[in-house]
Structure 1
């Protein structure tokens, strides 16, 4: 900046320093001293305010860091719980199959035992008959030369009886071996079944422990959020994270609904879709969230834990994993820019890349994502823009 030029100010000329001027200068010096003191005080106050701001920012950053750690801990906990449920479901199916197999083996054992009893009765009868005829009668008949033809027929009969007895004894031996094998199989199946039941008990205990730990995590998380006033900022960050995910999925998508034949375009189904679960809508699209500054971009349908979640339309699973705030989340791409989102699930029945048909079961209702009550979070979007699900789905009571 160019310095100012021109005549020097008049007060710099010495001839103007009269007694009056000196007095005025002295007064000015006193006033200047007071202004300097006040400025020092203001600067001190400003420094204090800056320190408080820095301290608050540090607390907020620390709380956000703690919140992130708790979110990570919650994610690990809920994924472990979901895995435990899947294992438990598999074990329960094995127990059911093993129990049915044991019942079949038991019936088969009864059949063999009944058959074995009959064979033994026949063998006893034959032995008694042979005993009544006696060896002496057999020898008498053998040396009887009066009727050779009769002797031949009787010998044939005796030979038949002997072979029948031998066959029955062999059959009894075979059935005894088969029965012994069945009994060994039953013992083995029973042991396996007991091991499965023991494993089932372990998994249930692990799941219950996980749920208890999850409750503690959620309480700590809510404490930090409310204590530090992070609710609004976290809600905003959650929305930004979801927006980023959907943008990424739109960029990555390739073919979608074209794989299916005779399936109407998703946009032609407006007002005709069935809700993914039965229940009561407790959070409606467009209603304000806690704090009043953000609005719901989907709906929450309250229903029982474990309720089957159905796809509202045919499409491809483009995301099936745990996601911040929404817990176990599954996203379907229906083509033409349409997507549907299903959050807070207890477990997921599909994997990324799977194709599903309308009304196919894709998940089960839960409270993942740090929720305290079970329910499904459901969204429909077009090119990332949230749409009101109630305009697309029929009366919720119809499912």
Structure 2
């Protein structure tokens, strides 16, 4: 399979452009909470504007990797939607179980009320027909008459209360059954959409495999591939320097998240084996570490911050960048899909996306990079030893 780095060079400009975001902007004095929130909201919009300007250049549009971008972007969206559907189906299934339990309780309570009503009616039956008339005719014992009348009044009130309770239970059961029907219809619709999305996924994966094989055939030798990978990396660094000036104009760096204080104790973004270490990888992998993990494994934020970029880029595939303030950012590449959006604040441990093989890779893995002051640094110096 072809590595993404041999693909034509389009996204490198975009990618590293955004990497410069936090690197170039100067730190501001600590603002008020409201001002900080407004500034954080604005940075996502401004970064998206930069992204759109970079993406709309003629060279980017003419890049031969646009087909891979199109297919892998569609794949990411399909995976994301499948995850949403599965989650909704699981939630609905739990709600159906809860509704069925409530239905059973209501039916049992209704049966109890019917049984109690039968007992009361049986008591009235033993008094015979027209008990009030008999009491009026039998006036030999006024005290007994009062007791029996009181007893009849209690029976009547209890009977009416039981009847009211039965009516309430019947209404609740009706609502419950209608809700169960609605949940059932929604589950059927979800099952149909899941089947359709699964079919789309299979077709898109076949299309991607054919495209990657075609791109792979462009290299006459391994040496030619390595040369192209190095050119991709050098180009990415040039683009990073070029866009720093424009990104610096944003003047909206997020406030500090005190990430420097957690250096050496950050969690791993995903558990897996290290396929390449800092400065040991090829092409765009040289400035970080490549962690092999199962496709679809959740990728989590190592620290609080704000998403400043989430898009497909040549070499990186689905790339997500988080600005943590203090001129520190983390980069996550080859994602299967995104679970967060640009401009969104994230907390430590929040799911950002899933491990994938986007960017033309043959095996699922997460590329993870840390940059400080615009310079790549060894991520293993920041994340906890294991």
Superposition TM-score, scaled by structure 2 size:
0.73
Shift of 1:392: 4.2
Q: 2:3 corresponds to which residue?
A: none
Q: Does 1:154 align with 2:148?
A: yes
Q: How many angstroms apart in 1 are the aligned matches of 2:207 and 2:377?
A: 36
Structure 1: tracts of 5 or more residues without a match? 1-59
- The correspondence of residues 37-48 of structure 1 with structure 2, limited to 5 A, is none
Shift of 1:240: 4.6
Contact 2:230 2:282 in 1 (8 A): no
Contact 1:256 1:334 in 2 (8 A): no
Q: Does 1:142 align with 2:136?
A: yes
Contact 2:285 2:367 in 1 (8 A): no
- The correspondence of residues 313-352 of structure 1 with structure 2, limited to 5 A, is 313-352=303-342
Q: 2:360 corresponds to which residue?
A: 370
2:280 to 270, 276, 287: 287
Structure 2: tracts of 5 or more residues without a match? 1-7, 9-58
Q: 2:126 corresponds to which residue?
A: 132
2:98 to 99, 104, 112: 104
Q: 1:74 corresponds to which residue?
A: 68
- The correspondence of residues 210-289 of structure 1 with structure 2, limited to 5 A, is 210-226=204-220, 231=225, 234-243=228-237, 245-247=239-241, 248=243, 251-253=246-248, 254-260=251-257, 263-264=258-259, 266=260, 271-287=264-280, 289=282
Q: How many angstroms apart in 2 are the aligned matches of 1:201 and 1:333?
A: 38
Q: 2:172 corresponds to which residue?
A: 178
Q: How many angstroms apart in 1 are the aligned matches of 2:194 and 2:247?
A: 40
Q: Which has the higher contact order (CA 8 A, sep 6+)?
A: 2
**RMSD over equivalenced CA pairs, Å:** 3.2
Q: 1:10 corresponds to which residue?
A: none
Q: 1:306 corresponds to which residue?
A: 296
Shift of 1:257: 4.9
Shift of 1:347: 1.8
Q: How many angstroms apart in 1 are the aligned matches of 2:89 and 2:253?
A: 39
SS in 2 for 1:285: coil
Q: 1:202 corresponds to which residue?
A: 196
Q: Cα 1:288–1:321, aligned 2, differ >3 Å: closer, same or farther?
A: closer
Q: Does 1:90 align with 2:84?
A: yes
Q: Cα 1:238–1:161, aligned 2, differ >3 Å: closer, same or farther?
A: same
Contact 1:256 1:316 in 2 (8 A): no
Q: 1:35 corresponds to which residue?
A: none
Q: Cα 1:361–1:100, aligned 2, differ >3 Å: closer, same or farther?
A: closer
Q: How many angstroms apart in 1 are the aligned matches of 2:263 and 2:157?
A: 81
Rg: which structure is higher? 1
SS in 1 for 2:278: coil
Superposition TM-score, scaled by structure 1 size:
0.71
